[in-house]
Structure 1
Amino acid sequence: MPLSSVARLLSWCSDTDFLVQFYIIITSPPDQVADFWRQHPGELTMVVTLIATVLSVTTATLFTISVKEALRFRMSQPISLVELSAGVALAKGSVILRPAYLRLTILTLFVFGVLRLLTAGWTTLLTPTYFLWPVEMRGSELDITGTAFSTLLSEEFKKQGLAAIQDNSFEILDVGGMLSGVSAAGYTFGLPATFNFNGAKYDVSTQGIVPTIEDYSGSDGVPGVNGTRLGFSGGHVAVNTKVIPGSHPKVPIPQGFSRNYSMLQQGLTANVNCQAIASSQTQYLWDTNDSRIVYANAAAANNSIAGLRLWNVTTDCGANTSTAQEYVTIADASGNVNPTANGFLPSIVCPWPMNINQSYTSLAILSQGFYKYKFLDPSVCEVMPLLTTVRANYSDGLISSEVISSAPFRSEHLPLLLLVAGVVQYQSVSSQTLTSSAIGDALYSIYSSTTNTSIDDSLGNQTQDYWRGIVEFSATIRFLRSGYMVVGSFPNNTIPDDLSSPVNGTMYITTIGWTQRSVTYLLAVLPITAITIFTFACALYSIFKARKDQGGNRITFDASNILHLIMASVAGGLTLQDFDKDGILANEGVKVKLHDDGAQKLFVTDNQPSLAASEEKLV
């Protein structure tokens, strides 16, 4: 093969290797091909192995050709027989084991091993694997932390006629808030902790977020004229999260087999601390003693109401401000109640701290259980809402979140705090019926379903988790974010800039293809890279020598061919010592060079004149 052709072939092969390496780092096959590969793994393995074998043979062949060419040029200069032997071993993919020549031994062993690893290297590089393709995403959502939203919320209060946290306008709430509390409370005991709202599925609790991914936005319904903002009762939440082009915008993003998302967005949670009210803590002024029978009918038939008791529960919410809440429960004509079948759980919410030295940062929930819920002693739960930044994970149809950072409410968040308090108050009051409380039943069910701990041991924790779930769901998802981001809430479904908060994160596409992120790929590249470097080195050496000789060296000689070596040795009259130990050592050090006398190629020793020169001398 002409030297110029070999050089062009090696150059093309090198460029191809580079393009292949670049290509496999940034791409995956079309979706149809990826689906086929996933469904036919056996056929994929067979094809990859065949291609890897062909590439391995091609790479080894190019290496052999380059070594032969380099060795041919090297033999035009004096070279020891042991070096010639090592060169022949390299060209044939063999080894020499001569401890006296450790450098040559290591070189041949290294090349021998690398050549054997070529197939494994190519197979590793060419075999597609499942990996996550990251894609950056950005968008926006409702910002509930600024003064602009507080102003808007105050205007909505006036528009809806909300004058106090006990206002009946909060009745639009359904059981979603209670389910959120039950989910959060039951999670501590390892109970199932997922629930659905507006078509979206949440894990443990909402953490006060709204879906920012279209596939997880839930319902596709369009709310009515009065079904947005504080009147929200369900509908499609507008999402404007977009994909940001990466460093290779021309590379198409695959559809993939599945897509997961990790987004940084706003949330709202609460630190809740519940403790029993001791008799010495008179500052709470919790009074449940004011009750009377307001209806009695001794002649009432079975399953009919024989009596009703009116409760007037009061407490002091600070600054000597008395707050009262009335309840009505069932009783018999004598005013007695079945303590195992009926339950009463009154609650009052104070929309400011019980400590009057603080302002607009928390709220207090006072409650006490009776009859069936007598295990719930008089208690006060201090609820401190927190504005948070959360990492929301969207995976397998489920939304889960973790808090990254948090900050307490400030004075400008008073409308938001009042809304939280109002929602919690409505949830606590509306859950109490004539015979039982949905909150009390939920807590009792959670407690009684566990066997690893007693009710008393975890009472405080469960109550805290319950109210935290209520705050996160009802005060953010139900009224605020979903209500203000549902289609129709703003003109053109676009949130104004002063009410907008950025959302950013990453979409992870599960697909099949190639990626450079694994250490395995680095190990696979090593043998291919080593052989490529050797091939280039030999080719460059040959090109350099060819230019230096100005094309004068046109010897057709294959050093890896034993017949060529024998012919050259015989033609040059090469005389060597015997096969004893000393003879072999002496022969290895003999320096020869290849001389071209036309059709005759001969080895001459370093100090031996060529055959042509000898003939001229004889003449």
Structure 2
Amino acid sequence: MSEQYKFHRTLSIHHPPPHNLAVGIFLSIAMEDPYAAYRPRHSTHSSIASSSKTLRESGYYYSSESYALLGMPSSAKTADGMKPSFSPAPSRNETPSRPKWLSPYYLIPTTVLVVHTLLLVCSWTFFSITISRPAALSPGIALHVRDHIQSVTMVVTLVASFISLVSTALYTRSILYSLARFLEGGVSLYTIASATRIAEPSPLKDFTRPTWTIAALLLTLAVNSQTAGWTTLLLPKQIEITSPMTGFELDMKSPGFKRLVEDNKDIINADLFSRVIPITEASGGTAVSTHFNLPSILNFNHFSWTNSTLGVMPVALEEIESSILSVQGENIPVNVKIHRKENTPRGFPVRFSMTQQGFTAQVSCQQRNLDANTRPSIRLRSQLDRLFDSPVTLAQLEVVCPTASSATFSEPVLTSTNVDALFGISCPVIQINGGRRWDLILAGSGIYSAIKTTVCSVWPLLDLVNVDYDDNTFVFNSSFPSFINGSIPWSYDEAPWIGDFALSVFLRGLRVGQSTTGNSMGDTVLTFLSSVQNDPDALSQILAEYTRGVLELSVTMLRMVFTQYGNGLYPGGSSTIPESMRLNINGTHRATTIGWHQARETAASVLIAPTFVSVVSILIIVATLASKGRNREPEASHYFDPGDILHIISASAAGGMKTELTPYHEDTVESSEHVQIKLVPVEGAESRPGFVSWENAK
């Protein structure tokens, strides 16, 4: 560009006529376009061309060379006061000085394809990773995010908004780029108007082309939903990191343990648990409460159970102290291992589940009228005496079991003169198939006479059960998951070698709960019985559930004693579970932390909007490039932007539009469908491109 031309581009007007100056400024704004070098020097039928002629006649001349700015009139008054003179316009053949690859013709499709492809690849890669498995933040960052969740949400939303803004901008450019390319071959005025509205994006208000209207609505929804999709994808939230767990516990079905119990009956009995026998009443009451859908929790030895213990050995993730055998207590070792894949921070909820061996009892109770002449026979023996000048009664139950030739006596208890007591005794029964069961006989007297003589048939069973461990920090303050809830057991096997021991614990608890004023088990049974008086089978259900709960607790205590350090109960005085008595167990550890994971119920919708926008943008560019092929456009057309109102005005004022358009108050939509226009050089190959009626361009 010549120095003389650059000099005259500087605006220097000395007292021009006011009306001509206004016209010049108006035209400088209205005619701003990238085609200054090709601007025609002729009048058109437009009002803008008429104003241009007026300006030329007034002695002013305007010119422009820029894509974005039009030149202003330049005047310089001579020293002798002559009429101002103006510099000539730049040459028509002068092209923009910027590199060709930076022109919109090349830059827009390249940017759209690269950026939207990256968005698709990155979003779906991240989505695939986080839906297949959770991705956790480092422990330190997770704690920071948890403590500043609102700030993190704001930052992520801003990032999502920025990504959506870039995606939307490129989506808009792809449509406008395609429209600019197809203008060379000719399109309807309706196509131009509709395409620019879709690019905004904005729905179409007419149904001239129903397909376009529906597509515009879908694209508008998709573009405006991108932020929601990106935020849902990128926002870190609470997730669970699962890790497998393996370990072992005492196998009560192993032949070695069976022999151990049978050979040490004098040791493995209720006397072993004399310190914790009173807890049996709470265990029975918890089981009854659960049966009648009443919330109840049993707390024992650092653990809390719903329903009952289910006869399982509670799994601890750290050594805990057990005081079952002595006041000093011994620790219970950790016999499980967590195979962690990622570290999780402390202070977040932790839970795990294990498949373990449990114990239960099938208990069936029935009221029977028994006396000294029935089989089994029953007789209450009592003796009134005085103790420290207070009358007391020493009482016991005498029973002759069906398979016994002599009577069996319950342990004598001190009670009131009215014999307010609840008695129990068990009779072993050999079944026809060779199996064993126990008939537990319970009888109340005095204030417990409502507990009629009942025979409960008991079948001890070993089973498998899924046990859930939870830290439940909203209820308990525990350093490890200690809240236990088990599933319904399955895979039952009879375990008669445990029957005598379990029932001895039940009967010891019944006797320990007896006093001169009453019986704790009897009080519990009467309490439940009074609340379900309308059920004729209530007493049988209460006694059956109570018995089951106590028997399950007895085996849980037995497992704890055989697992803790220093028990000395194994052969040779060992305290470690021998390999032959071990049962392998496994489970799943679940630790809560902060990270990313896509929920299955919303996964399908997270990336619908961003993906739809990216795919449409890419397809538009690909289809445009494929349809145009190697067809070359005039280089000046490369800069035309149908989304820029100044470019539209400039192209319309080029002089090629001779079609009379419908007035504003009439239906302009339908008529615009029939107006076909092209963007071509108006006056020869070297002239400025502008809108030309299709009929005139042929």
Could you say which TM-score interval applies, normalised by the shorter chain? Answer: 0.7 to 0.9
For residues 64-112 of structure 1, what are the alpha-carbon distances to aligned partners after superposition, in whole Å with 9 as ceiling and x for unaligned?
Answer: 2222233333333343332233222233323433322112222223222
1:576 corresponds to which of 623, 646, 659: 659
* Structure 1 position 141 matched with structure 2 position 216: no
2:115 aligned partner: 9
For residues 271-310 of structure 1, what are the alpha-carbon distances to aligned partners after superposition, in whole Å with 9 as ceiling and x for unaligned?
Answer: 21211112599663232245556xx56xx6534xx56646
SS at 1:346 equivalent: strand
1:468 aligned partner: 548
Higher relative contact order (CA closer than 8 Å, sequence separation 6+): 1
CA contact (8 A) 1:73 1:545 kept: no
2:648 corresponds to which of 552, 561, 565: 565
Q: Which residue identity does 2:409 align to in structure 1?
A: Q
The structure-2 alpha-carbon separation of the partners of 1:254 and 1:326, relative to structure 1 and needing over 3 Å to count, comes to closer
CA contact (8 A) 1:135 1:243 kept: no
For residues 364-391 of structure 1, what are the alpha-carbon distances to aligned partners after superposition, in whole Å with 9 as ceiling and x for unaligned?
Answer: 1012112232222221111122323222
Q: Using the TM superposition, give the Cα deviation of residue 128 of structure 1 relative to its aligned residue in structure 2, in angstroms.
A: 4.1
In the TM superposition, 1:179-328 aligns within 5 A as 179-188=282-291, 193-214=296-317, 219-220=320-321, 235-244=330-339, 253=344, 255=346, 257-279=348-370, 284-292=375-383, 296=385, 301-303=388-390, 309=394, 311=396, 313-316=398-401, 318-328=402-412
1:343 aligned partner: 420
CA contact (8 A) 1:138 1:243 kept: yes
* Structure 1 position 414 matched with structure 2 position 496: yes
CA contact (8 A) 1:578 1:584 kept: no
Once residues 574 and 288 of structure 2 are traced to their aligned partners in structure 1, the CA distance between those partners, rounded to angstroms, is 39
The structure-2 alpha-carbon separation of the partners of 1:63 and 1:492, relative to structure 1 and needing over 3 Å to count, comes to farther
- TM-score when scaled to structure 2? 0.71
1:529 aligned partner: 611
Q: Which residue identity does 1:600 align to in structure 2?
A: R
For residues 30-62 of structure 1, what are the alpha-carbon distances to aligned partners after superposition, in whole Å with 9 as ceiling and x for unaligned?
Answer: 444443444444434433333333222222112
1:614 aligned partner: none
For residues 174-225 of structure 1, what are the alpha-carbon distances to aligned partners after superposition, in whole Å with 9 as ceiling and x for unaligned?
Answer: 323332113223445666622222211112310111222416x7x33699xx
Larger Rg: 2
* Structure 1 position 541 matched with structure 2 position 623: yes
1:153 corresponds to which of 258, 262, 270: 258
Q: Which residue identity does 2:240 align to in structure 1?
A: W
Q: Which residue identity does 1:302 align to in structure 2?
A: D
2:560 aligned partner: 482
1:616 aligned partner: none
- After superposing the two structures, state which structure 1 stretch, 134-143 or 388-397, moved more: 134-143
2:8 aligned partner: none
CA contact (8 A) 2:361 2:459 kept: yes
Once residues 448 and 586 of structure 2 are traced to their aligned partners in structure 1, the CA distance between those partners, rounded to angstroms, is 46
Once residues 366 and 427 of structure 2 are traced to their aligned partners in structure 1, the CA distance between those partners, rounded to angstroms, is 16
CA contact (8 A) 2:196 2:642 kept: yes
Once residues 232 and 483 of structure 1 are traced to their aligned partners in structure 2, the CA distance between those partners, rounded to angstroms, is 14
* Structure 1 unmatched runs, 5+: 332-336, 611-619
* Structure 1 position 53 matched with structure 2 position 138: no
SS at 1:220 equivalent: strand
2:429 aligned partner: 352
SS at 1:351 equivalent: strand
- After superposing the two structures, state which structure 1 stretch, 549-558 or 13-22, moved more: 549-558
SS at 2:488 equivalent: strand
Q: Using the TM superposition, give the Cα deviation of residue 134 of structure 1 relative to its aligned residue in structure 2, in angstroms.
A: 4.9
Q: Which residue identity does 1:595 align to in structure 2?
A: V
1:594 aligned partner: 679
The structure-2 alpha-carbon separation of the partners of 1:169 and 1:532, relative to structure 1 and needing over 3 Å to count, comes to closer
Q: Which residue identity does 1:463 align to in structure 2?
A: L
Once residues 551 and 493 of structure 1 are traced to their aligned partners in structure 2, the CA distance between those partners, rounded to angstroms, is 92
* Structure 1 position 76 matched with structure 2 position 184: yes
Once residues 290 and 103 of structure 1 are traced to their aligned partners in structure 2, the CA distance between those partners, rounded to angstroms, is 97
For residues 200-258 of structure 1, what are the alpha-carbon distances to aligned partners after superposition, in whole Å with 9 as ceiling and x for unaligned?
Answer: 1112310111222416x7x33699xxx6xxx999643333433456xxx5x65555621
Percent identical residues: 22
Q: Using the TM superposition, give the Cα deviation of residue 473 of structure 1 relative to its aligned residue in structure 2, in angstroms.
A: 0.5
For residues 595-617 of structure 1, what are the alpha-carbon distances to aligned partners after superposition, in whole Å with 9 as ceiling and x for unaligned?
Answer: 3645622344556558xxxxxxx
In the TM superposition, 1:426-505 aligns within 5 A as 426-432=508-514, 436-444=518-526, 446-447=527-528, 451=531, 453=533, 458-474=538-554, 476-479=555-558, 481-487=559-565, 498-505=580-587
CA contact (8 A) 2:344 2:592 kept: no
The structure-2 alpha-carbon separation of the partners of 1:546 and 1:41, relative to structure 1 and needing over 3 Å to count, comes to same
Once residues 159 and 334 of structure 2 are traced to their aligned partners in structure 1, the CA distance between those partners, rounded to angstroms, is 46
The structure-2 alpha-carbon separation of the partners of 1:208 and 1:151, relative to structure 1 and needing over 3 Å to count, comes to same
The structure-2 alpha-carbon separation of the partners of 1:20 and 1:170, relative to structure 1 and needing over 3 Å to count, comes to closer
Once residues 276 and 490 of structure 2 are traced to their aligned partners in structure 1, the CA distance between those partners, rounded to angstroms, is 29
CA contact (8 A) 2:439 2:457 kept: yes
Once residues 433 and 249 of structure 2 are traced to their aligned partners in structure 1, the CA distance between those partners, rounded to angstroms, is 28
* Structure 2 unmatched runs, 5+: 1-103, 473-481
For residues 575-599 of structure 1, what are the alpha-carbon distances to aligned partners after superposition, in whole Å with 9 as ceiling and x for unaligned?
Answer: 2243066986454234444336456
Once residues 176 and 335 of structure 2 are traced to their aligned partners in structure 1, the CA distance between those partners, rounded to angstroms, is 64
Q: Which residue identity does 2:365 align to in structure 1?
A: C
Q: Using the TM superposition, give the Cα deviation of residue 349 of structure 1 relative to its aligned residue in structure 2, in angstroms.
A: 1.2
